[in-house]
Structure 1
C-alpha cells in the first residue's frame, strides 16, 4: 500500500489541518479491511480453542490408559523391592530423613509406600544422631521432639522384621552422667540381630552397658566400633567389665578408641580379624597410645588382617625384646599415627614388620623433633604399594628425596601434608622459620627428562601437596608437561596449595591436557585487595554495585 505521506511516516512531522483530513479519508478503507481480518482471526481462534480442548480431553484419555501399560507396573514386586534396596546409600547407614531412601520411596504413591513398608531389608540399616539439648537445658519442645525421635527409631527397627541390623549411633555430647541414653536402650534391645554396630558416646555409663553384653548376646555381630568422645558433662570412668562382647564368634572387624581399656589384653578372637583400628581420628584426651612392642604383640595375633590403623607412642627408652621380623601377608591398608620418631629407628616398628601385600600407607607424625635420617628401607619390601599419604610436622628436603628414591614403581597416589617453609605472608614482622620440605629439587625427582629417564613413580596418577612455598610455578609446569609428554601418560590429577602469591598462571599452558581429562587444582595465598574508591559513598540511594570510573 502506497501513501502520499510516505516520506513523513516514522518522523515527528505534525500535519496541517488539510493534511489531517486527507489522512482520515485514506484510513477509511484500511480500517474496514482490518476489521474484517480481526473477525476472521476471532473465528479461527474459536475453532483452534475448540480443537485444543478436544485434544486435551482425548490426550488425557489416552495417557491414562497408556499408564496402565507402563513396564514399571508390570514388574514383579520382588524386582521392585530389589530396585528399592539398590536406592539405599552404600557408604553409610540410612538416616531418618524424607529426602532419601527408604523414607523417600514411601512418598511417591500409596502402592510404593505399602511395598516399602513391607520390605524389611529397607529398614535394616539406620544411623541415629541423638539430639543435643538446646542451650544445655531441657525444654518442652525439645522433650517432645526427643520423645518423637525415639518413637521413630522404634518404628523404624520394627519394620526390619528379623533382618540382621547395621546401626550407627552418634551420642549426645551432653549425656546424663548416670543414665543410659534411651536411644542406646532401644539399640541394646536388638543386640541379637546386630551385624554391624558403631557407637560413639561420651558417657562411660553407656560404654559400660555395651561392654556388659556377652558373646551369646551378639551371635550375628561382624563389625564392632566403639568410640568414646570428650564429654561436656561429668561421667564416671569405665568399670572393670568382662568385655565378653568381644568374643563374638563372627566378629572380623573391630575399632576401639578408649584409653581406659587394656588394648593388648582384649579378649578378641584375634585370628578372625580382618580389620583393626585402635586409634582416634578426633581430637581429645581419650586417645589410646600403643608402644612398639604392644603393637607388634597385637599384630602377631592377627594373621588374616587386611586393614589396620594404630596410634603409637614414642618408646625411645623401650628395649628391643626380640629382633624377629613379623610378616603380615594379607595386610593391604596401614594407617599409622605416631607421637615421636622411634618408629623409623633401626629396631623400630617399620624395621620389624614385613608387608609384601601392602597397597595403601598413611603415616602421620606429630613429633616436634627434627629427624633427618628416617628408616625408609621397609618400603623396598612392599613392592605392591600404590598409595602413600604422609603428614609430618618437621621434615627436610633431603628426607623427601630419600623417600622418593625408596618408593616402589607401583605408586599411583602421593599425598604430602607438609609444613610451610620460611616466608613472609604479607604481614609485617611475621616469618615462619621452618624447613622447606618440598621444593623444585623434590618435584624434579618426579619429572621425567632426557637426563633423568629413571624417574620415581613412573605410573603416578595423583599428586597432592599441601602446603608449599618454595616450589615454583615453573617447576610445576615442567612436571605436568613432562609427565603428559611420555608415550602413555598416567597422570590424572594434580592438586597444589601454595602459601605464596602466584608467579604466573600455569593453566593456559596446560589447557590441551585439561581438555583431554587432566585435572589441575592450584590455590595461592592472596594478599588483601585494595579498596576501590566509590563516588557514591555517603549517598543514600547509591547503587549496590558499579564499575569504577577511570
Structure 2
C-alpha cells in the first residue's frame, strides 16, 4: 500500500502536530478495514469449525475402535492392567481410568468382571480415606470371576474404634467372596491381624503368600485348602519351631518359598527340617528357602546321614542366605542328599569357602544333568572352586554372578574368585597357545548377568573386550545377552558401540542403582506396600 509518509517509515523521523493529525486521519479507513477483515475471519473460522465438527462427527462413526468386537476390546482393556502387582484404587490406572473415557467404555468396563478380578488393599489408606464402599462396589463387579487379592494390614486393626464399622464392612465383603479367592497375599504385623480371617475357607485358593505372626499362621484354615499349590511364607522367627505345625497339604504343593527375613546364621530351616519338608512334597517344582548353619557346628555322624530325597518334578531350587553366608559343608550335604533329574535353575547362597578350594556341588552333573541357569555369589569363594563347580554343569545357558565383595575372607593360600578371572575363563585371551586352555568355560552359555558390579578403572573396556572374545571363540550365534548392574553410578555405554554388538546378535545392557537415601517417609497411597 502506498503511503504519503512512506519516506519517513522505519526511520527516527518525528512528525509535526499537523503531520500527526494527517497520519491519524489517514489511518481511519485502514483501521476500519482491519475490523471488517477480523469480522470476516471470525465468521469464516466459525464456519470452518462448524464444518470440522460435522466432519469429525461422521469420522467418529467410522472409527475402527467402534467396530471392535467385544472380545477384542476386552483383550485390549485387560492388556492395560498392571502385570507385576494387583490393581489399586486409583483413577490414574486401569481399570478405573478406562471407565472415564466415554459412556460406552464405562458401561463395557463395569460389566467386564475380569477387569476387576485383582485388587490391592492397603487397609491404612482405605480406612483413612473412608474407601470401604468403593472396595465393596469393586468386588461386586467381579461377578463369579476368580480373585487375586493382596491385603496390607495395619498394626492395630482390632483397636480402630473409630473405624469399627469400616473394618466390619470391609472384612465381611471379603469373606463373602472367599469362595472365589485364587491368589492371596496377606501381610499383617500385629498378632490380631488375621484373627478375623482365621476361620475363612477358600475352596478355590491356588496361591497364598503370608507375612504375619507364626502362631496366627498355624491357625489359618486357608492353608488346609486342597486346591492350594503355591505357598510363600515370611517369618522373623526360626522356621524349625513352626514349619511342622503348618496345616498344609504338603503332597499337593508345587511351589514353596520360605523367607526368614533375618541375617543371623541360625535363621532359616535346619538341614534335617528342609529335607523333611522336601520328602513330603513329591509334586514340587519350585523350592526356595533359607538354610541355617547349624550343620557346620554339629555335623551328623555317618550313621545319622539321611537317605536321598527324590524330587522328580523339581525345576527350580533357590537356597538364599540374604547378606550372610552358608558353610560349604552345609551346602554340599544338602545338594548331595537331593536327586533332581528335571532341575533347570539353581541359585546358590554366599559361601565362606575360605578354607579350601573344593567343589561343593558333588555329583550334581549326574543327578541333575539338565541345569541351564546358575546364580552364584562370588564373595569369599575360591577361584578354583568356582571353576570346578561350573564345569559340573555342561548344559549351562544362563549364568548370574553377584560381585559384591569377591576378595572377602579368602586367605593367601587361595586365589579369590572375581569377575575378572571369570571373564577370562568364559573367553580366553587371544594369545593363549594351548588348545585346551583356549577352550572357553560354558560353551553353551547364552546369557551372562553381573550383579553389584564394582566401579574399577578400565572396566567398560574389559567388558567390551570380553564380549568380543566370547563372540570370536564361540561364534556369533550362541552368546546373546550381557547384562551389567553396577553398584554405583557409571556412565552408559555409547549407543554406537552397543549397535555394533547388536548387529552381531549380542545385546548389552547396563544399569545403576537408584538410591533413596535421606528421603522422607511417603504418605499412605493406593500403592503403599506394593513392591515397585
In the superposition, the TM-score normalised over structure 2's length comes to 0.74
**Distance in 1 separating the partners of 2:196 and 2:354:** 42
Which position in structure 2 is the counterpart of 1:124? 117
Kindly report which structure 2 residues correspond to 1:51-90, keeping only aligned pairs within 5 A, or say none.
51-90=44-83
**Distance in 2 separating the partners of 1:323 and 1:160:** 49
Which position in structure 2 is the counterpart of 1:221? 205
Which position in structure 1 is the counterpart of 2:182? 195
Decide which of 461, 485, 503 is 2:447's aligned counterpart. Answer: 461
Q: Secondary structure of 1:276's partner?
A: strand
**Distance in 2 separating the partners of 1:501 and 1:121:** 43
Which position in structure 1 is the counterpart of 2:469? 482
Q: 1:408 to 1:39 in 2, by over 3 A?
A: farther
Task: Determine if the alignment matches structure 1 residue 376 to structure 2 residue 361.
Answer: yes
Decide which of 296, 310, 324 is 2:307's aligned counterpart. Answer: 324
Which position in structure 1 is the counterpart of 2:275? 296
Task: Determine if the alignment matches structure 1 residue 311 to structure 2 residue 290.
Answer: yes
Task: Determine if the alignment matches structure 1 residue 266 to structure 2 residue 246.
Answer: yes
Q: Which structure 1 segments of 5+ residues have no match? A: 1-7, 133-143, 230-236, 423-433, 525-550
Say which structure is richer in helix: 2
Kindly report which structure 2 residues correspond to 1:492-531, keeping only aligned pairs within 5 A, or say none.
492-495=481-484, 497=486, 510=497, 513-514=500-501, 516=503, 518-521=507-510
CA contact (8 A) 1:463 1:495 kept: yes
CA contact (8 A) 2:380 2:406 kept: no
**Distance in 2 separating the partners of 1:413 and 1:82:** 36
CA contact (8 A) 2:287 2:316 kept: yes
Structure 1 position 118, deviation (Å): 2.3
Which position in structure 1 is the counterpart of 2:257? 277
Q: Which has the higher contact order (CA 8 A, sep 6+)?
A: 2
CA contact (8 A) 1:354 1:378 kept: no
In the superposition, the TM-score normalised over structure 1's length comes to 0.71
Q: 1:76 to 1:487 in 2, by over 3 A?
A: closer
CA contact (8 A) 1:292 1:343 kept: no
Larger radius of gyration: 1
Q: Secondary structure of 2:215's partner?
A: coil
Kindly report which structure 2 residues correspond to 1:128-167, keeping only aligned pairs within 5 A, or say none.
128-131=121-124, 146=128, 148-167=130-149
Structure 1 position 359, deviation (Å): 2.3
Which position in structure 1 is the counterpart of 2:227? 250
Q: Which structure 2 segments of 5+ residues have no match? A: 1-6, 409-413, 514-532
**Distance in 2 separating the partners of 1:421 and 1:468:** 12
**Distance in 2 separating the partners of 1:219 and 1:337:** 32
CA contact (8 A) 1:197 1:224 kept: yes
Structure 1 position 369, deviation (Å): 7.2
Aligned residues: 473
Structure 1 position 415, deviation (Å): 2.7
Structure 1 position 198, deviation (Å): 1.0
Structure 1 position 61, deviation (Å): 1.2
CA contact (8 A) 1:394 1:435 kept: no
Q: Describe the superposition over 1:257-297 as per-residue Cα deviations: whole angstroms up to 9, x where unpaired.
A: 234762135332222211111224x4589x96211121112
Q: Describe the superposition over 1:213-265 as per-residue Cα deviations: whole angstroms up to 9, x where unpaired.
A: 4xxx2211111211127xxxxxxx72695554322121111112234762135
**Distance in 2 separating the partners of 1:469 and 1:85:** 42
Which position in structure 2 is the counterpart of 1:360? 345
Q: Secondary structure of 2:396's partner?
A: coil
Structure 1 position 344, deviation (Å): 4.3
Which position in structure 1 is the counterpart of 2:335? 350
**Distance in 1 separating the partners of 2:153 and 2:205:** 21
Structure 1 position 208, deviation (Å): 4.4
Task: Determine if the alignment matches structure 1 residue 388 to structure 2 residue 374.
Answer: yes
Q: Secondary structure of 1:410's partner?
A: coil
Which moved further from structure 2: 61-70 or 488-497?
Answer: 488-497
